[in-house]
């Protein structure tokens, strides 16, 4: 089956610091999506990537679709307390999303 | 835009009863909706793909007779957990795929917390 590894599992950072997380896979995907989930809520779409090598920003968030189509990273610059939550990569293949294990982000004011 | 609602947000039921969860796309139409289950501290696991006007496609290991899915219109899908047991307690989340050019995006509902006593 497809293997998807998301790292790190958790991060504890100081407000204002930059954050980086990534996902790697043994499979090739056509789309990489990044979501954020707050406790007790559904995931919210942050960034969608559709082309290998594509680099896309959404405010303080930047994500890239790896050139091999097997990986993606998400960067958050100048973190703030409301960035706290769980971030998931979710590549799409055949219309289905495969969710990574998640990166739990904690931001200390 | 791209708002998905779920009802109820929380439900507590007795073992052996059935529970219906609704998923609605409020400002767009969706031929395809998805149902996920999420256990505490875990990732989302796809249960089934719901297609408007046809039978749902279930993932391996998901009992189709226990988790009944109906996709009656382009804005509504329902999941019924039949004869619920405590092990069915979980966070159930739906998502919808808008009918538009960028077909790979999925927008999620707020989830339904099911507790079976």
pLDDT of B101 strictly over 70: no
Q: Is B93 exposed, middle or buried (0-12, 13-18, 19+ CB in 10 A)?
A: buried
pLDDT tens, B60-84?
Answer: 999 999 999 999 899 999 999 999 9
List the single best residue of A1, A10, A47, A97 to mutate versus B (max B Cβ within 10 A).
A97
From B43, B105, B108, residue closest to A42, measured CB to CB: B108
Predicted local confidence at residue B102, as pLDDT: 58
Distance CA B85, CA B63 (A): 13
**Chain A residues within 8 Å of chain B (Cβ atoms):** 30-31, 33, 35, 40-45, 48, 50, 88, 90, 92, 95-102
Predicted local confidence at residue B72, as pLDDT: 84
pLDDT along chain A (109 residues), means of 10: 86 96 94 95 95 95 96 97 97 89 95
A-B contacts at Cβ under 8 angstroms: 57
Q: Is A107 exposed, middle or buried (0-12, 13-18, 19+ CB in 10 A)?
A: buried
From A33, A96, A102, residue closest to B105, measured CB to CB: A33
Our CA-based measurement puts residue B87 at a distance from the nearest CA of chain A, in whole angstroms, of 19
Predicted local confidence at residue B99, as pLDDT: 79
Predicted local confidence at residue B98, as pLDDT: 85
pLDDT-based confidence at B105, cuts 50/70/90? confident
DSSP B13-30: E-TT--EEEEEEESSS-E
């Amino acid at each position: 089956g497809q293997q998807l590894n998301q790292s790190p599992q958790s991060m504890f950072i100081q407000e204002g610091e930059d954050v980086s997380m990534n996902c790697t896979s043994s499979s090739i995907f056509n789309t990489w999506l990044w979501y954020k989930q707050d406790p007790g809520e559904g995931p919210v779409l942050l960034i969608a990537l559709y082309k290998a090598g594509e680099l896309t920003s959404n405010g303080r968030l930047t994500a890239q679709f790896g050139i091999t189509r097997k990986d993606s990273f998400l960067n958050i610059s100048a973190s703030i307390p409301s960035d706290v939550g769980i971030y998931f990569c979710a590549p799409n293949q055949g219309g289905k999303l495969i969710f990574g294990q998640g990166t739990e982000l904690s931001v200390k004011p | 835009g791209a708002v998905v609602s779920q009802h109820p947000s929380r439900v507590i039921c007795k073992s052996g009863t059935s529970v219906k969860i609704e998923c609605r796309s409020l400002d767009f139409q969706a031929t395809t909706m998805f149902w996920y289950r999420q256990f505490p501290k875990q990732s989302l696991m796809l249960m089934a793909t719901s297609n408007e006007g046809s039978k749902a496609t279930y993932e391996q290991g998901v009992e189709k007779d226990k988790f009944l899915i109906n996709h009656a219109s382009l804005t509504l899908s329902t999941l019924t957990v039949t004869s619920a047991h405590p092990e069915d307690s979980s966070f159930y989340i739906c998502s919808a795929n808008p009918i538009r050019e960028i077909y790979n995006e999925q927008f999620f509902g707020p989830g339904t917390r099911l507790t079976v006593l």
